């Protein structure tokens, strides 16, 4: 399964692995909404994402701009493939990419 949740006491961590695309967009949306509703810090780990698509980027962008979200970077880690996809899609200010220390260029 490409998505899993690791709910900590103060953090709601969504881990993405493998091909994270439109095929799991509904599940990602539900997990993001659950994370926002939890009142905890919401984070997404894309460290093991082999591939992401524009649908995933749009969902992450929307979650990052939700007023219910606590401050801090949304993305806690990113793979080279996910970073390259974000850059290619024009998401130079992709939530968490800059703050995670992963270069875009």
Q: What is the mean pLDDT of residues 10-18?
A: 95
Q: What mean pLDDT do residues 70-82 have?
A: 87
Share of the chain above pLDDT 90, in %: 55
Closest CA to 52 of 79, 26, 73: 79
SS3 of residue 63 by DSSP = helix
- In the chain, the domains with their CATH numbers are 3-88 (3.30.750.24)
Q: What does the pLDDT read at residue 68?
A: 86
Q: Report the predicted TM-score, pTM, of the whole model to 2 decimal places.
A: 0.86
CA 57, 98, 63, 34 torsion-angle sign: positive
Residue-wise pLDDT for 32-57, tens only, equals 999 999 999 999 999 999 999 999 99
């Amino acid at each position: 399964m490409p998505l899993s949740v690791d709910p900590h006491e103060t953090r709601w961590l969504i881990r993405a692995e493998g091909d994270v695309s439109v095929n799991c967009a509904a599940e990602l949306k539900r997990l993001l909404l659950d994370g926002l509703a939890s009142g905890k810090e919401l984070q997404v780990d894309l460290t093991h994402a082999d591939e992401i698509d524009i649908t995933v980027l749009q969902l992450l962008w929307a979650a990052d701009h939700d007023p219910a979200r606590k401050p801090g970077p949304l993305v806690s880690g990113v793979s080279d493939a996910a970073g390259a996809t974000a850059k290619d899609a024009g998401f130079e200010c992709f939530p968490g990419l800059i703050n995670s220390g992963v270069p875009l260029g």
